[in-house]
Amino acid sequence: MSLKNLSVKTKIPKVLKNKLHNKKIGQIYKNFAKSLRIKENFIVAVSGGPDSLALAFLSKIYSIQKKLKVKYYIIDHKLRVESTIEAKYVKEILKKFYISSEILRWHGKKPRNNIQSSARTKRFEFLFSKCKKFGITKILLGHHQEDLFENFFIRILRGSGLKGLISFGKETKLDNITILRPLINQKKEDLVFISKKVFDFYVKDPSNDDEKFQRVRIRKLLKALENEGLDQKKFIKTIQNLKRSNDVIDYYVNKNLEENTFFSSKEKQLIIKNEFFEQPYEVVFRSLSNSLNFVSKKYYAVRGKKIDKIIADIRKSSFFRSTLGGCLIKKVNQTVIISKEY
């Protein structure tokens, strides 16, 4: 569909339509729309950085074209004194481009350790709450190609397995909510270009240069490796190959869950047969991790070491009960029962 026909049919505001006439932005939008392909209302998280502002612009055009309703949320973690002022300014900037947004503020005492991880968890709590309130099942995040690379190396340093290494992909599901990253194959420099051309603005977070954060150190390491000849195309190919191997394991995980578990909606318990634990270890590990997430309804999975330990404990004849990841785990004869911990 040409820009002319698109603007007539869906009435794109002139201030937005004019930006699409830029050849580079027009091509990026074309790739974005082809990648997204959703036909239901969704939520967009906006931080004020170039990636999320680019996402706000692209998703607004998409929503007009597809006649969808979108809710934009700016998360003010209040971790920096400037954050509240920045959030208000981002809201004003978006409004000039017919993008209505709401600021969600994190009040209360903030953690001293694992700050970025805690902020990420709180961000998802806010967004998931809005999903449930409005009956929305899709959340769009502005992660890009460099984020994919950084996450891969961070997971290596954590000793992650195959699933952990490739978990940061285009789509992540939890219960009935899907996290989408439609810009995951887009370079950050392209998103900076959009933010400058469209909004003539983006927030520069000083924490992005603070080496006390592991992600910043990884980012600088990747830059050094790139200067030494790191081939990003081959790197992407490697990740794609790993994903194919992961798909095979997921097939058997789903089969294990389907054949060896039963959820009692009346008792709100997941009942697990003994055969569940007789599969190859990686299948058992993922099946149990998925089971705990299913019962607890938490976004983040329990850490691997804790899963390893509970599997070893369950296989002991002396195991009776334990708690993990917001769940109560009991063993009755050869059957394991998982329920939510209250």
Identify the CA nearest to 127 among candidates 144, 104, 106, 143.
104
Provide the pLDDT for residue 33: 94
pLDDT tens, residue by residue, 308-340:
999 999 999 899 999 999 999 999 988 999 999
- Please state the pTM of the whole predicted model: 0.78
Tell me phi and psi for residue 262, to 5 degrees. -145, 130
Exposed / middle / buried, residue 286 (Cβ in 10 Å: 0-12, 13-18, 19+)? buried
The token pair at 22 is 């830029």
Answer yes or no: are the C-beta atoms of 24 and 53 closer than 8 Å: no
How big is the CA angle at 227 (ends 226 and 231), to the nearest 5 degrees?
A: 35
Tell me phi and psi for residue 135, to 5 degrees. 65, 35
Answer yes or no: are the C-beta atoms of 94 and 56 closer than 8 Å: yes
Provide the pLDDT for residue 330: 96
Running DSSP on this structure, what letter comes out for residue 301? P
Provide the pLDDT for residue 226: 78
Provide the pLDDT for residue 229: 79
Identify the CA nearest to 177 among candidates 122, 136, 233, 216.
136
Write down all domains in the chain, each with its CATH number in brackets.
3-230 (3.40.50.620), 239-340 (no CATH)
Provide the pLDDT for residue 7: 44
Instruction: Please provide the average confidence, as pLDDT, over all residues in the chain.
Output: 89
pLDDT tens, residue by residue, 227-262:
887 777 888 888 889 999 999 999 999 999 999 999
The Cβ of residue 2 has, within 10 Å, a number of other Cβ atoms equal to 7
Provide the pLDDT for residue 1: 46
User: Within the chain, which residues score under 70 in pLDDT?
Assistant: 1-10, 175, 206, 299
